[in-house]
């Protein structure tokens, strides 16, 4: 049997080198040209079949075995965020306003590390390993659906994904059977009233007051119309109206997000928001526009795939824990709609190394030693799936 942790440990410096290079040159979602070329160059040095571009600019590398084992896909994302980096890292972003603030540089380094180890042990392949390098995870509709439509899951039996997580301690593996991450929806609302002088409100239809009523009423949807044992979030992130203190504006605007784990609750929230707006329109003589954008599907782990992740962590003697339900979204869920799969988190938070800042923070960083734990887990998964024969 192979000591996957020891083999991954031997790749640690290599993965750190890759991660730090990518960290310096982040590219935003759907703009990842240099990153695409870099990954393609790394894979071209290995004995695998490469498909590119898949979708807009995704890459699929396939290592084929000689046996009758299954085809297992592993996925990494490689886009960055529109954030000015405020860390003091020697390898901080060289692109102002762009930063790898979610660990996708580490995800890419991890999957390239897996690729190199598979290439070195390709004679042990009993099935196929399909490595999916995905663009555009941070912006809906996400790159996963485009890659699926382009055939990235063709002849694939199951799929696994990993996310480095600063909120969990380095090296611990977290996953959850069934629902794990929410569907991150967005909405935009305009309330159209009739503006006028602030001293004569009776001559106006004040959209600010109506908007205030709407926001307060929307807060009752979760607390008073949804079963308390079920989860949902309705949050407002932007409210805008007017430009002067003595002028009642013609219109008010808001934007927000809805997070749910199942489609029935999602549809219930949409309908309740619409009913509140309809009632306010009748009561206040306003008109409105309601633009609701459904986000990624909820991440929902298949029971058997989840069991494989847990068994992999246990057999590697890593700390395995059940992840909490998370209201964040991930377009890995689109792969799971097509093939059974599981998503797991690898802790990369270490206070002594300053790597506990939250994701999407300008101070975000990862404990790079966490990457070898993710690589080990991926490879153990392949062994348990009988894609790699170690005896």
Has 359 been labeled as part of a binding site? Answer: no
Has 104 been labeled as part of a binding site? Answer: yes
Has 100 been labeled as part of a binding site? Answer: no
Cβ pair 207, 286 in contact under 8 A: yes
Q: Element (H or E) spanning 249, and its range?
A: none
The one catalytic residue among 79, 128, 331, 368: 79
Active site residue 186: no
Tally of helices (H runs) and strands (E runs) in the chain: 10, 16
The one catalytic residue among 137, 146, 157, 367: 137
**226: exposed, middle or buried (C-beta count within 10 Å: 0-12, 13-18, 19+)?**
middle
The token pair that represents 167 in the structure block = 């909120």
Q: How many CA atoms lie within 13 A of 254 on its CB side?
A: 23
Strand, coil or helix: what is 288?
Answer: strand
Q: Which residues of 150-188 are buried (b: 16+ CB within 10 A; e: fewer)?
A: bebbeebbbbbbbbbbbebbbbbbbbbbebbbbbbbebe
Query: Which residues on neighbouring strands pair with residue 280, listed in sequence order?
Result: none
Strands 299-301 and 128-134: unpaired
Neighbours of 224 (CB within 10 A): 9
CA pair distance 143, 296, nearest whole angstrom? 11
Q: Say which residues have a Cβ less than 8 Å from residue 192's Cβ, sequence separation at least 6.
A: 207, 250, 251, 286, 287, 288, 289
Active site residue 365: no
CA pair distance 31, 96, nearest whole angstrom? 15
Give the residue ranges of the annotated binding site for Mn(2+): 102, 104, 138, 163, 360
Give the residue ranges of the annotated binding site: 102, 104, 138, 163, 360
So which residues are the catalytic ones?
79, 137
């Amino acid at each position: 049997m192979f000591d996957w942790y020891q083999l991954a440990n031997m790749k640690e410096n290599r993965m750190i080198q890759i991660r730090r290079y990518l960290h310096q040159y982040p590219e935003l979602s759907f703009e990842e040209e240099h990153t695409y070329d870099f990954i393609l160059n790394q894979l071209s040095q290995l004995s695998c079949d490469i498909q590119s571009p898949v979708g807009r600019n995704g890459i699929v590398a396939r290592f084929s075995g000689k046996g009758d084992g299954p085809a297992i896909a592993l996925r990494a994302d490689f886009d960055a965020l529109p954030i000015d980096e405020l860390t003091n890292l020697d390898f901080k972003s060289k692109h102002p306003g762009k930063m790898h603030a979610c660990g996708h540089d580490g995800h890419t380094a991890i999957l390239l590390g897996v690729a190199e180890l598979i290439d070195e042990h390709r004679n042990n392949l009993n099935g196929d390993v399909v490595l999916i390098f995905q663009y555009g995870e941070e912006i809906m509709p996400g790159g996963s659906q485009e890659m699926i439509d382009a055939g990235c899951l063709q002849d694939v039996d199951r799929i696994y994904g990993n996310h480095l997580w600063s909120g969990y301690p380095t090296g611990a593996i977290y996953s959850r059977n069934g629902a794990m991450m929410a569907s991150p929806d967005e909405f935009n609302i305009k309330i159209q009233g009739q503006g006028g002088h602030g001293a004569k409100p009776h001559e106006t239809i004040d959209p600010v007051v109506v908007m205030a009523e709407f926001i307060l009423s929307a807060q009752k949807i979760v607390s008073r119309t949804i079963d308390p044992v079920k989860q949902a979030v309705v949050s407002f992130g932007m409210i805008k109206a007017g430009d002067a203190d003595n002028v009642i504006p013609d219109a008010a605007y808001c934007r927000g997000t809805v997070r749910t784990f199942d489609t029935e609750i999602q549809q219930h929230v949409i309908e309740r928001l619409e009913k509140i707006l309809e009632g306010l329109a009748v009561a206040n003589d306003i008109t409105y526009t309601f633009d609701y954008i459904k986000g990624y599907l909820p991440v929902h782990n298949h029971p058997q795939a989840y069991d494989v992740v847990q068994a992999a962590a246990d057999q590697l003697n890593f700390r395995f824990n059940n992840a909490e339900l998370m209201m964040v979204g991930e377009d890995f869920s689109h792969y799971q709609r097509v093939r059974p799969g599981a998503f797991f988190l690898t802790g990369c938070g270490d206070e002594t190394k300053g790597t506990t800042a939250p994701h999407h923070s300008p101070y975000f960083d990862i404990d790079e030693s966490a990457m070898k734990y993710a690589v080990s887990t991926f490879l153990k998964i392949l062994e348990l799936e009988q894609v790699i024969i170690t005896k």
